[in-house]
Chains A and B, each alone.
Chain A
Amino acid sequence: MTQPIIELKHVDKHYGDLHVLKDVNLAVDKGEVVVVIGPSGSGKSTLCRTINRLETIDSGEILIDGEPLPEEGKELAAMRAELGMVFQSFNLFAHMSILDNVTLGPIDVLGVPKAEAEKRAMDLLGRVGVAEQAHKVPAQLSGGQQQRVAIARSLAMHPKAMLFDEPTSALDPEMINEVLDVMVDLASQGMTMIVVTHEMNFARRVANRVVFMADGAIVEEGTPDEFFDHPKSARARDFLDSIKGH
């Protein structure tokens, strides 16, 4: 059996009295696209953020390529550099040009020479369709464009896997598809992805596996067809009913 790229074993986390992650077990293989869905407050964002230790866990284990997630410090930084992360609120560096946003990681973390980093950044910006904006600052771009830049910024680090934390939730409806298209492209090129989202069509089309969370626990998982057409748990059926009919 091949080793999963990302593996969570018996992960528990509390915020005070609130039990936000309850004995979460999840393994993601290379090239797999796992979509995490569930009602808000179900812990799916927290789950995503624990994987590169933006949130710490109380107990359990998180393994990246079979290695346990390091404590804070150099090793953790090195591990984070290998995982791409895309946030709901884009989080581009406001004082830098688009190009500098994308080259910062490669130059300062990976030690890539500036000219080479810029060339690759321009390629990536072209791939996500914002190459003409390279010399603007983030505030001059639309939300959809900013999110595509954020994806390019992560890709510039040659990540082993990408984490998407509700990447389209802060976008106006007409911009959601331009971001999803980039993600579909990535998936088709074999990128390992964990995607927390409310975009059910994306989940159906792109996911290898759908993970449904509620109240901090993984309630069920399966292929998109299994999950959307024949949900096993009452919780999942309720959830799917509640989002239908819009």
Chain B
Amino acid sequence: MTALCFVFVMLMAVAITVLRVSPFKPLRLVGDLYVQIFRNIPGVSLLVIIVYALPNLNLVLPYRTCVIVTVILVASAFGSENFMSGINTIGVGQIEAARSLGLSFGQILRKIVIPQALRTTVLPMTNLLIAVMLSTSLGSQVPLTPPELTGVVSYINTRSTGGILAFGIAAAGYALTAVAIAFVGNRLDRKVRIKR
């Protein structure tokens, strides 16, 4: 679920960021609005909205999809912020140079802006991946089959004593996964970092 979410998070984040740097003001506003909305709603609240409010609009999603959509919406807003800060490090000079060569807006994005933004945001995106992994624990709030880790642990806790042990094991699982992601992220960052 984490991997699936993160793929969509990155795609959405790129799309939103393209809106936010586009030459058309309405598109920029849409992008900014998206980020402001989804960055500022707690994941649980958003999940509740999607699970309980959308059916009123005749939109009933499976629970699993609800969790995935929630995580994607929230994380892509943060991801877009990461990209924006990556873009801000590129410097207007390179963009001007690209315009002087006659490159179009789309070409400048594809060849100059996105490749550099991706490389400078490896570390923040690693953080985001860890956050995405951790926020899949939102799944504990809705019935899932197969169940989500935090949900399982809560279930064990309500059924038997010794809950601390179960939570401890789950926490260790999350932490180990996070450490592994951070390790890979650091290695990747060192490999693709742009020398300045």
Contact surface of A with B, Cβ cutoff 8 Å: 52, 54, 72, 74, 77-85, 87, 89-95, 104-105, 108-109, 137, 139-140, 150, 153-154, 157
CA distance A81 to B100 in the complex (A): 6
Closest chain B residue to A150 by CB distance?
B97
Contact B94 A93, beta carbon cutoff 8 Å:
yes
Residues of A within 8 A of B116 (CB): 94-95
A-B contact pairs, 18 of them (CB 8 A): A79-B102, A80-B99, A81-B102, A87-B97, A91-B91, A92-B94, A93-B94, A93-B112, A94-B195, A95-B116, A104-B101, A104-B111, A105-B102, A108-B111, A109-B102, A140-B195, A153-B97, A154-B100
CA distance A87 to B93 in the complex (A): 8
Contact A80 B119, beta carbon cutoff 8 Å:
no
B3 within 8 A of A: no
Query: Given that A93-B94, A94-B116, A95-B119 are known contacts, is A54 also in contact with B107, CB under 8 Å in the complex?
Result: no
Binary flags per residue of B176-196, CB closer than 8 Å to A gives 1, else 0: 000000000000000000111
CA distance A123 to B119 in the complex (A): 31
Contact B100 A80, beta carbon cutoff 8 Å:
yes
CA distance A91 to B100 in the complex (A): 11
Contact B97 A77, beta carbon cutoff 8 Å:
no
- 4 tightest Cβ-Cβ pairs between the two chains A and B: A81-B102, A91-B97, A91-B93, A85-B100
Contact B101 A153, beta carbon cutoff 8 Å:
yes
CA distance A109 to B98 in the complex (A): 10
Known: A54-B99, A77-B104, A94-B195. 6 other contacts (CB 8 A): A77-B103, A80-B100, A87-B97, A91-B97, A92-B97, A105-B102
Interface residues on B, range: 20 to 34
Contact B103 A108, beta carbon cutoff 8 Å:
yes
CA distance A95 to B112 in the complex (A): 8
B26 within 8 A of A: no
CA distance A168 to B87 in the complex (A): 27
Contact A52 B100, beta carbon cutoff 8 Å:
yes
Closest chain B residue to A72 by CB distance?
B23
The residues in B between 70 and 113 inclusive whose CB is less than 8 angstroms from any CB of A are 90-91, 93-94, 96-104, 107, 111-112
Closest approach, in angstroms, between the C-beta of A137 and any C-beta of chain B? 6
CA distance A139 to B94 in the complex (A): 14
Closest approach, in angstroms, between the C-beta of B111 and any C-beta of chain A? 6
CA distance A93 to B112 in the complex (A): 7
CA distance A67 to B112 in the complex (A): 30
Residues of A within 8 A of B103 (CB): 77, 104-105, 108-109
Residues of A within 8 A of B143 (CB): none
Residues of B within 8 A of A77 (CB): 99, 102-104
